[in-house]
């Protein structure tokens, strides 16, 4: 597992080392320029001193060297000093005649400085050219060149000493910065360690959100994500706990009844009565199976809302039609008429096909149960103002006005409900609609007989001309 501290240091320290190398190169370059400028001024002074002592009064080239000044210059240079005085054509030369010539043509009155070697030793040379007041051997005009050279040991030692100080200072600075960065990173990561310690010290069932107080802004999104995840686990735990409570509460009575019926059948010697007991047991098992299925469906709805399942594009009219066909055999047992109407272009929504089928199944199953024999049940799928509607209408006893305020409560059964139900059908459908940003409502029928249950949820926008189809009734 990578460490944030060492990752940052591994990136920052090489970067600082590269910057230090660049800074040292620039400082070395500037130091050489500064040292050359300082020592070149001494060369200029020596050239001017020699120039002041040059004379052609005797008809030849003569010079009275300023030895005291040259000795002082030699001490300053801390090395050897050489000089050369000659005419530009080189016919007359005084001093060290083999000093290297300037790399380019000299200009009158402009001193030039350049590096070269003299007898294998690096030297710095200053050259200066001026006109002779009295030209030699009858020339009309004549230029005089003065060169003064010094060994570069002193200036190189001076630059090296200064550069060494810069290197030591930079290394000390890098060490201090690295230490400060390590301390700063450690202090910055202390809130992360606090969060870690808080999470590790919690009890196994403690899913309370982490306190974000004192957490840096950069760590805040991580804490928010953890709290969001903890919130989902809390909802899931509540859903599972609710499911266990509902299951234990609702299955206790049917299981007790089944146990009584089994004991009765075992004690009864007459076969017809045993068959009656078995028939009652079969009915009880069917009711219990339906109850378990509804409890599982309700738990699935709660888990789906917690997990945030991805939405699918659903042909709602086809889904409702298929669901009605799957329950058509139950309606035929009661000789009921089931009709289905949908627009030719269809209705499209986005959501979970499993949950929407479960919602329609629960409502249609209720309609089949409560509608009388030879009764009528209609399913209408429409789309209005961007909303998809599924209207399930039956001509049964309806729902009393006093019960409508408790619509969707678990295990709440209306006064007109028949024995055997668990009161979960509307609760399941309502929860599914809420998950799909929709709602469930109850409406009276135009003739006042029965009731209409309406499922309403956002319709998916469909580009013009995407598809068209005909629906069978």
- In angstroms, rounded to a whole number, what is the distance separating the alpha carbons of residues 369 and 32? 103
The predicted-structure confidence for 287-345, as pLDDT tens digits, reads as follows 677 667 666 766 666 665 545 566 899 999 999 999 999 999 989 999 999 999 999 99
The 3-state DSSP class for residue 94 equals: strand
Residue range 149-175: average pLDDT?
84
Residue that is last in its domain, among 116, 132, 160? 160
Q: Is the pLDDT confidence value at 71 over 70?
A: no
Tokens, residue 57: 């009064």
60 shares a domain with 13: yes
Residue environment code for 151-183, b if the CB has 16+ CB neighbours within 10 A, otherwise e: bbebbeebbeebeeeeeeebeeeeeeeeeebee
Say how far apart CA 419 and CA 416 lie, in whole Å: 10
**Domain boundary residue among 145, 160, 175?**
160
Give domain status of residue 280, yes or no: yes
Q: Which stretch of DSSP H or E encloses residue 377?
A: strand 376-384
- Tokens representing 82 are 């050489």
Domain termination site, one of 90, 125, 160: 160
The percent of residues in the chain predicted with pLDDT above 70, rounded, is: 79
Residues 283 and 326 grouped into a single domain: no
What CATH number corresponds to the domain at position 227? 1.10.287
170 in any annotated domain: no
Q: What does DSSP say about strands 439-443 and 451-458: parallel, antiparallel, or unpaired?
A: antiparallel
* List of long-range contacts for 282-291, beta carbons under 8 Å, 24+ apart: 284/254, 284/257, 284/258, 285/258, 287/254, 287/420, 288/251, 288/254, 288/255, 288/258, 290/422, 291/250, 291/251, 291/254, 291/422, 291/424
Please spell the DSSP secondary structure of 29-46, one letter per residue: HHHHHHHHHHHHHHHHHH
Please state, in angstroms and rounded to a whole number, the distance separating the CA atoms of residues 258 and 272. 18
Q: What share of the chain is helix, strand, coil (3-state, %, to 5)?
A: 50, 20, 30
Residue at 468 is within a domain = no
Domain assignment present for 419: yes
Closest of 438, 429, 444 to residue 458, by C-alpha = 438
Looking at the structure, tell me whether residues 281 and 335 fall in a common domain: no
Identify the residue with better confidence: 412 or 151: 151
Do residues 408 and 368 lie in contact, with contact meaning Cβ atoms separated by under 8 Å? no
Beta strands 312-315 and 93-95 are unpaired
| Whether residues 296 and 320 fall in one domain | no
The reply to whether 8 and 154 lie within a common domain is yes
> Rounded distance, CA 72 to CA 150, Å?
13
* Number of domains comprising the chain: 3
Instruction: Give the pLDDT of residue 470.
Output: 44
Q: 248 and 322 in one domain? A: no
Distance between terminal CA atoms of the chain?
A: 63
Asked if residue 249 has pLDDT above 90, the reply is no
Secondary structure class of 390 (helix, strand, coil): strand
Whether residue 140 is found in the same domain as residue 101? yes
Does residue 180 belong to any structural domain of this protein? no
One domain for residues 351 and 448:
yes
167: in domain: no
Do 121 and 69 lie in one domain? The reply is yes
Structure tokens belonging to residue 230: 């903890």
Domain harbouring 391, CATH code = 3.30.565.10
Residue 134 within a domain: yes
Q: What pLDDT band is residue 129 in, cutting at 50, 70 and 90?
A: very high
Lowest mean pLDDT among 86-90, 154-158, 366-370: 154-158
Say if strands 376-384 and 337-341 run parallel, antiparallel, or are unpaired. parallel
Q: Are residues 319 and 301 in the same domain?
A: no
**Are residues 362 and 428 in contact, defined by beta-carbon separation less than 8 angstroms?**
yes
Percent of the chain with pLDDT over 90: 22
d(CA 44, CA 37): 10
- Indicate if the pLDDT at residue 388 is higher than 60: yes
- Which is nearest to 364 in space by CA: 410, 415, 428? 428
In tens, the pLDDT along 19-28 reads 888 888 888 8
**Is 89 part of a structural domain of the chain?**
yes
332: tokens are 């035929």
Q: Is residue 52 domain-shared with residue 75, that is, in the same domain?
A: yes
283: left (phi > 0), else alpha (psi -120 to 50), else beta? alpha
- The CATH number for 94's domain is 3.30.450
Structure tokens at 372: 């009388």
Lowest-pLDDT range, 55-64, 179-188, 272-281, 443-452? 55-64
> Token pair of 204, please?
């196994």
209 contacts: CB under 8 Å, gap ≥ 6: 227, 230, 231
Instruction: Say whether pLDDT at 99 is over 80.
Output: yes
pLDDT at 255 over 70: yes
Taking the C-alpha atoms of residue 363 and residue 432, their distance in angstroms, rounded to an integer, is 12
- Beta strand residue intervals within 50-185, DSSP E: 54-55, 62-63, 81-87, 93-95, 112-118, 121-131, 143-151
Question: Is the model more confident about 48 or about 192?
Answer: 48
What pLDDT does 247 receive?
Answer: 60
C-alpha to C-alpha distance for 155 and 38, rounded to whole angstroms? 9
Residue 420 has a pLDDT of: 44
CA angle 176, 182, 187 (to 5 degrees): 125
pLDDT digits (tens, 9 = 90+) for 179-231: 888 888 888 778 778 777 877 888 877 778 888 777 777 777 888 888 888 88
Q: Which of 71-80, 375-384, 454-463 reaches the highest mean pLDDT?
A: 375-384
Of residues 139 and 61, more confidence is placed in 61
For residues 155 and 9, state if they share a domain.
Answer: yes
Categorize the per-residue pLDDT at 471 as very low, low, confident or very high, splitting at 50, 70 and 90: very low
- Would you mind telling me the total number of residues written for the chain in this entry? 473
Domain that holds residue 151: 4-160
pLDDT (tens digit per residue) in 390-440 = 999 999 887 776 665 656 555 454 445 444 444 577 888 888 888 889 999
* pLDDT top residue among 373 and 184: 373
* Per-residue model confidence as pLDDT tens digits over 344-368: 999 999 998 988 988 898 899 889 9
DSSP type of residue 444 = -
pLDDT, the chain, mean: 80
Question: Smallest Cα–Cα separation from 295: which of 252, 250, 257?
Answer: 250
């Amino acid at each position: 597992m990578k460490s944030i501290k060492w990752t940052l240091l591994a990136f920052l320290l090489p970067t600082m080392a590269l910057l230090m190398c660049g800074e040292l190169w620039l400082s070395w370059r500037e130091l050489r320029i500064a040292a050359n400028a300082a020592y070149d001024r001494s060369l200029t002074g020596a050239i001017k001193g020699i120039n002041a002592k040059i004379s052609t009064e005797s008809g030849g080239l003569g010079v009275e060297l300023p030895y005291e000044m040259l000795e002082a210059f030699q001490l300053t240079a801390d090395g050897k000093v050489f000089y050369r005085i000659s005419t530009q054509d080189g016919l007359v030369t005084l001093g060290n005649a083999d000093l290297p010539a300037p790399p380019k043509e000299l200009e009158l009155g402009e001193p030039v400085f350049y590096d070269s070697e003299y007898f294998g030793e690096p030297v710095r040379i200053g050259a200066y050219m001026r006109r002779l007041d009295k030209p030699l051997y009858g020339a009309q005009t004549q230029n005089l060149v003065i060169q003064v050279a010094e060994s570069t040991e002193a200036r190189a030692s001076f630059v090296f000493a200064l550069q060494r100080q810069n290197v030591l200072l930079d290394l000390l600075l890098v060490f201090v910065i690295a230490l400060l960065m390590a301390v700063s990173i450690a202090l910055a990561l202390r809130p992360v360690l606090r969060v870690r310690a808080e999470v590790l010290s919690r009890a196994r069932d403690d899913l309370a959100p982490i306190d974000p107080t004192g957490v840096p802004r950069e760590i805040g999104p991580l804490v928010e994500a953890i709290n969001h995840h903890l919130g989902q686990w809390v909802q899931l735990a509540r859903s599972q706990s609710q499911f266990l409570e509902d299951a234990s509460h609702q299955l206790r009575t049917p299981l007790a009844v089944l146990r009584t019926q089994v004991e009765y059948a075992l004690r009864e010697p007459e076969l017809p009565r045993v068959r009656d007991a078995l028939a009652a047991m079969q009915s009880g098992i069917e009711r219990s199976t339906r109850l378990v299925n509804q409890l599982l469906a309700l738990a699935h709805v709660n888990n789906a809302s917690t997990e945030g399942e991805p939405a699918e594009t659903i042909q709602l009219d086809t889904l409702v039609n298929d669901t009605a066909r799957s329950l058509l055999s139950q309606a035929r047992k009661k000789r009921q008429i089931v009709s289905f109407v949908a627009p030719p272009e269809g209705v499209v929504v986005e959501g979970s096909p499993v949950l929407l089928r479960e919602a329609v199944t629960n409502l249609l199953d209720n309609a089949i149960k409560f509608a009388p024999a030879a009764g009528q049940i209609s399913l209408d799928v429409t789309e209005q103002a961007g909303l998809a509607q599924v209207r399930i209408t039956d001509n049964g006893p309806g729902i009393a006005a006093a019960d409508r305020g408790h619509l969707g409560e678990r295990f709440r059964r209306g006064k007109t409900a028949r024995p055997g139900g668990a009161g979960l059908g509307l609760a399941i459908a309502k929860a599914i609609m809420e998950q799909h940003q929709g709602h469930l409502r109850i409406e009276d029928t135009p003739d006042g007989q029965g009731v209409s249950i309406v499922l309403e949820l956002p319709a998916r926008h469909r580009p013009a001309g995407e598809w068209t189809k005909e629906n069978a009734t």
